[in-house]
Amino acid sequence: MANILIINGHPDADPRRLCAGLARACAEGAKAGGHAIRVLELGRLDFPLIESRQDFEHTPPPPVIAEAQESILWANHLILIFPIWMGGTPALVRAFLEQTFRYGFALAEPGSDKSGGLLRGRSARLFVTMGMPAVVYRLAFGAFGVRAIERGILRLAGIAPIHRTLMGGVEAATDATRAGWLETARRLAGTAS
């Protein structure tokens, strides 16, 4: 049994959003697979931006971020769901990750005797939605927004393996296609992979 943290990174907390549906499907699949779950909806959280190096290195995280960090420590598998906006992750997702994945929590303090990421032993799956076809995002844009999260944040923190599922053309998707995506999310969350 895994402890799974599901993070819905869509800034709009409307439960009719595809990202919200994917989060619910992941929760259903994880529960059916016998896993323990916690869910974070970034669109419902209120926290400040990090505006300086001083903030990142020395300002304690606000309570809502400290609670998120506790859930990340509890989890051994993270599911992060977010849309692609303008080729990358929404600003809210980046702001959350900047606040959460700080030195001393996810990254070793500069100059410390620890090396590498501090969140080793955890895996992750990304479910990423977008308006453009997923193949165009991968080939023409190099999936740089997703790679920045995978390599620039999660892997640096020691999280591995990291898998991704890209869902493109969401505005034009049929009900059958959407149902297929939800079933995929349900199945993958149930196997915690």
Q: Which helix (H) or strand (E) holds 62?
A: none
pLDDT band at 141 (very low <50, low <70, confident <90, very high): confident
Q: State yes or no: pLDDT of 115 exceeds 80.
A: no
Per-residue pLDDT tens for 15-72? 999 999 999 999 999 999 999 999 999 999 999 999 999 999 899 999 999 999 999 9
What does DSSP assign to residue 52? S
CA distances from 161 to 19, 126, 139 (A): 22, 11, 22
Q: How far apart (Å, rounded) are the C-alpha atoms in residues 35 and 110? A: 36
Q: How much is the mean pLDDT over the chain?
A: 95
Taking the domains of the chain in order of start, what are their residue ranges? 3-191
Which CATH number is correct for 3-191, 3.30.43.10, 3.40.50.360, 3.20.20.220, 3.30.530.20?
Answer: 3.40.50.360
